[in-house]
Amino acid sequence: MEKTLCGANSYVQKFYFNNDDFGNLPEHVKQELQILCVMFTEENGGIITLTFDADGTLKFNVTRDDADVLFDDIGSELAIRKIQKEKEELLNNLELYYKMFFLKGGA
């Protein structure tokens, strides 16, 4: 079962953060995630969500509206790889946090 951490939607210009499950994360982490998601959708369009899978791996999920002919699948993949490289420490720490608090140290 996946658990959503956060996401942004370029079509309705909204950011979502799962405060119910992750509200105890430090504010600077929440802000960094917001910047990451919003910048992605501003540059690439579409909808991005960051979710944890059953093993605690943080996944980037990108979808687009079928009518969005300007969305670039390849460009969005490249943008995700860039984020994963530039934000590697943050993303690894989020996975560790999830495994410790939600999977009780497993995985």
pLDDT (tens digit per residue) in 41-94: 999 999 999 999 999 999 999 999 999 888 989 999 999 999 999 999 999 999
Q: Which of 36, 58, 60 is nearest to 48 (CA)?
A: 60
- Expressed as residue numbers, the domain containing 24 is 3-101
Within-domain flag for 106: no
Within-domain flag for 81: yes
Within-domain flag for 20: yes
> Residue 107 pLDDT more than 70?
no
Looking at residue 105, what is its pLDDT?
62
More confident residue, 67 or 4: 4
Within-domain flag for 79: yes
On the 0-12 / 13-18 / 19+ scale of CB atoms within 10 A, 33 is buried
Number of domains in the chain: 1
User: What whole-number distance in Å separates Cα of residue 7 and Cα of residue 61?
Assistant: 9
CB count, 10 Å around CB of 62? 19
Asked if 70 contacts 32 with a C-beta cutoff of 8 angstroms, the reply is: no
Within-domain flag for 17: yes
